[in-house]
Chain A
Amino acid sequence: MVATALAEVVTHPAAGAALDIEQVSHAFDIDGAELPVLSDVSISVVSGEFVALLGPSGCGKSTLLRLVAGLDKPRAGRLREDDSRITRPHPSRVVVFQDPTLFPWRSVWDNVALGLEAQGILKSQRQRVDDALDLVGLSSFRNAYPHQLSGGMAQRVALARALVNDPKILILDEPLGKLDSLTRITMQAEIVALWQRKGFTTLLVTHDAEEALVLANRVIVFSDRPARVKADIRVDRPYPRHRGDPYLADLRRQILGLLGLDATW
């Protein structure tokens, strides 16, 4: 298993970072009671890997992503990017959130430029913003404001805003959840193409087992809350993948079984 993962990785330039989630547990306090959300989660992601996280709604996937991003600190356990401990957000780990959350007062171009501006390097690197907009095919909307975009376009801007920073780890929290199926399929292909070209490590949360299987080379299935790693499935198929692939269909049945839906499929 490790060997195939490494074989996959060497085809990429080494632009990604390794991610180690070690025995992480987390909980929230709601009305004085403790709500455990993550329970002893350990995942080790190799540099350049594309890992999909699947699990029931409300099990704690977004919470885990926030910990990886460094937005929150876990109650127990450790997270490491390459060999340094994750304690705060850093532009090498960029999140595309469940909502696009574009800044409504900034034009599309200025939204994409946000990261470079925050790091104080925008002046010398304006070209990167143009390139990122080209990448998601929205150059002609550079001066538009977010309220003038469609939902799918807004999500693409959010993707460009993340990619412009050349992240080592790209964290995607159901970025395609609200799109229509056609845009969704197009965007999936774009994400895979980008990942193959740039070689960053990718963490993708999704509700959709098929999406996970078409995109990722590893699918991790979580249990109900508090989330525990229930299964860690390697997807050894070359890209581009086909939805009708019987191998993937087989895995899909297996995953849906893990999520408790075996009877209907």
Chain B
Amino acid sequence: MSTYSLSDGLASGAPRVSRAPLLTAWVKDSGAGVLASIAWIAFGLSCLWWTDVGDWSRTHSLGIAAFVIAAVALFGTVGADYLGSAGKALHKRAPWLVALGAFLTVWELATAKFAWLPLPFFPPPQAIIEVYTDDLPKLLDSVFASVKLQLGGYLIGATVGFLTGVSIGWSRAVGYWVHPVLRFIGPLPATAWLPIAFFTFPSSWSASTFLIALATGFPVTVLTWSGVASVSNAYYDVARTLGAKPSFLVLKVAIPAALPHVFVGLFMGLGSSFAVLVVAEMIGVKAGLGWYLQWAQGWAAYSNMYAALIVMSLLCSGAITLLFAIRDRLLVWQKGTVKW
């Protein structure tokens, strides 16, 4: 009896039962995308509905842009099947789009519309957009100066650190002389050298390059060294019995085996060199994002500060992403590496 009713239900009830799962499936698939669209419409409305408490020129454009993003989110979600990988990418990021839209709405209301937050210190989104459109040349100059300084210092520091690390790890004589110096000087924060560096070097630019290189070089040296030192003797034995000469042992055994350590050093060096870069730019170099921040603070131009901070964080994050991409390319042989 019971088995009859079960199969009966399955046969006749199928279309009725499947409607609810279809709905839940649709909500699961497209719910976040639709919500994202709603959040950005809310942001657009919050821009356009009320009048600003201050004088900002980009409010209207920002509202329109929010609507455009809302439309893209909506059509991208509805038409996801026709968009291929772009649709998938949107689907994956939809929850973040919801959060971002909601955050911007609250920010807009809290600053430009009702001034719940004290005003000059908390500029609305349109004020920051205004910086990007109106102060773009200066901002770009600063970005260019920062990237140039950072890149030069970092490359010098990484190269010198890597070579020093390999030499200490490989040669006892080099280790004897360099190790004490490294222990004495290395742990000192590079910024402590700042006053000395700025009057001993011919230009503030070369002084900053030196400091950034120093901040990068220490962790790279130590980790390269420990990487080379920890290479198992078994690898050298294998290579030697196969006819390897010392140069082969360094270049094809020690260095590749130490590479995972080297990348940890490069990562740490990147972090500490960012800190030195900003401080050096604020104090000595009259260019770059650090200097821009300083300058903005001097003029109480708070929107410029936020704008510069956002750019700076994008640049730092981009640099680390790049480093990780290079590492993943070089260390494909490792399993289970952390994805940045």
Contact = CB atoms under 8 A, between A and B. Distances in A.
Interface in A55-99: 66, 69-71, 89-91, 93-95, 97, 99
Contacts of B235: 101, 103
A89 B252 CA distance: 18
Interface string A94-127: 1101010101111100000011011100000000
B276 to A, nearest CB: 32
Nearest to A99: B234
Contacts of B243: 89-91, 115, 118-119, 165
A89 B241 contact: yes
B238 interface: yes
Contact of A101 (B238, B256, B259, B331): B238
22 contacts: A71-B241, A89-B240, A91-B242, A94-B241, A94-B242, A97-B234, A97-B237, A97-B238, A99-B234, A103-B253, A103-B257, A105-B257, A105-B259, A114-B238, A115-B242, A117-B248, A118-B239, A118-B243, A118-B245, A119-B243, A145-B332, A146-B333
Contacts of B240: 71, 89
A218 interface: no
A147 interface: yes
Given A97-B238, A106-B333, A118 B244 contact: yes
Interface string B208-250: 0000000000000000000000001011011111111100100
Interface size class of B (residues with CB under 8 A): 20 to 34
Contacts, number: 68
A161 interface: yes
Question: 8 nearest interchain CB pairs?
Answer: A115-B242, A91-B243, A118-B244, A119-B243, A89-B240, A105-B256, A101-B234, A145-B333
A43 B301 CA distance: 88
Contacts of A90: 243
Interface of A: 66, 69-71, 89-91, 93-95, 97, 99, 101, 103-107, 114-115, 117-119, 145-147, 161, 165
Contacts of B257: 103, 105
Nearest to A111: B238
B333 A95 contact: no
A145 B335 CA distance: 10
A79 to B, nearest CB: 14
Contacts of A91: 241-243
B326 to A, nearest CB: 15
Contacts of B237: 66, 71, 95, 97, 101
Given A105-B256, A145-B333, A147-B333, A114 B239 contact: yes
B241 A93 contact: yes
Interface in B299-340: 331-335
A99 B335 CA distance: 20
A68 to B, nearest CB: 10
A103 B232 CA distance: 11
A165 B333 CA distance: 25
Contacts of A107: 333
Nearest to A69: B241
B256 A114 contact: no
Contacts of A97: 234, 237-238
Contacts of A161: 238, 242
B109 to A, nearest CB: 54
A71 B237 CA distance: 7
Nearest to A158: B238
Given A101-B235, A103-B235, A114 B259 contact: no
Contacts of A71: 237, 240-241
A93 B238 CA distance: 11
Nearest to A146: B333
Contacts of B248: 117-118
Interface string B166-191: 00000000000000000000000000
Contacts of A70: 241
Contacts of A93: 241
A90 B237 CA distance: 11
B239 A95 contact: no
Nearest to A95: B241
A146 B238 CA distance: 15
Contacts of B232: 101
A165 B242 CA distance: 8
A175 to B, nearest CB: 13
A107 B237 CA distance: 19
A97 B241 CA distance: 11
Contacts of A115: 242-243
Nearest to B232: A101
Nearest to A148: B335
Contacts of B239: 114, 118
Contact of A147 (B244, B245, B259, B335): B335
For A71, A91, A103, the residue with the greatest tally of chain B CB atoms inside 10 Å of its CB is A103
For B238, B243, B253, B332, the residue with the greatest tally of chain A CB atoms inside 10 Å of its CB is B238
